[in-house]
Amino acid sequence: MRKRTKAILLSVATLALSCAFIAGYDPRIDAGASALQQKVGTFLIDLEQTAGTPEGEYGRHIGFYDEVRTDISELRDVASAHKGNDITLQSLDLIEANVAKLEKLHAEGISREEIGIVRSLFDTQFRMLLQLENAKKRKEN
Amino acid sequence: MQFDVSALTTTMTEAVRGAIGERWALLRALAEPEFRKLAQTLEDVRQLHADGKIDENRAWDLVEMQRNTALNVLRGVQGIGLLTARGAVDAAARAAGDIVNRLVGFKVI
């Protein structure tokens, strides 16, 4: 009987440990990521309209990039306060990497067609991040 | 040479399917449309380059952004897959709890 008990306990413990721990739902990350998605989306729609005109020049939009970096940094701070948020943090890092790339392309000169591609990529990045946060929420409900 | 967007979508989708095994059915609906969009944007970049609208360096920059985005999709699938697995483990632990608790004589699960 003791052997059987040990075997069952070991199986359950192994099964539980085999699944990496994922942090719980934090509405601040969900709301912050949604707001950031909106901000980046609106910026890219506007830039698509003004690309190639003085209004669309990089110099006039430096503040946007600083603001987005600050927003991502704040979201990182909230996410890193919870254990098991590695995937959320990595997702934010990948979004930040694409913001840096977009800034480089914008500074060099970016066309409407390129903005269309970039917009689709950011849509996917934010959608995946929000899907993960919503999955955490569903798990808790 | 033109990309076969459909074949590329299938290749990426199958790679993930192999990696996540039985949880695939749950995650397929999430990953497949995103990979299809990514494959389409790769084709768009190729077309811009073929038309001489962007140079090689610009194409690489855009492909690097696509690579980052593909990693986002994989991270999302990984996270949601882990949460799904966690749910299954919790259910298994609950199911096993009665038996284990009875065997050890106190509430351990």
pLDDT tens track for B38-67: 999 999 999 999 999 999 999 999 999 999
A22 vs B109: CB contact, 8 Å cut-off?
no
For the stretch B101-106, contacts whose Cβ atoms lie closer than 8 Å and that sit 24 or more positions apart, written own/partner, are B103/A1, B103/A4, B103/A5, B103/A8, B104/A5, B104/A9
Test the A interface: residue of B22, B65, B98 with most A CBs within 10 Å: B65
Q: Say what the pTM is.
A: 0.81
ipTM associated with this complex? 0.86
In a domain, A11, yes or no: no
In a domain, A3, yes or no: no
Q: In angstroms, what separates the C-alpha of B15 from chain A's closest C-alpha? A: 18
Q: Which domain range does residue A66 map to?
A: 24-140
* Contact residues, chain B, for A16 at CB < 8 Å: 89, 93
Number of domains in chain A: 1
Q: In angstroms, what separates the C-alpha of A60 from chain B's closest C-alpha? A: 22
pLDDT in tens, B60-73: 999 999 999 999 99
Per-residue tokens: A99: 């913001």
- CA A41, B45, A72, B78 torsion-angle sign: positive
In a domain, A17, yes or no: no
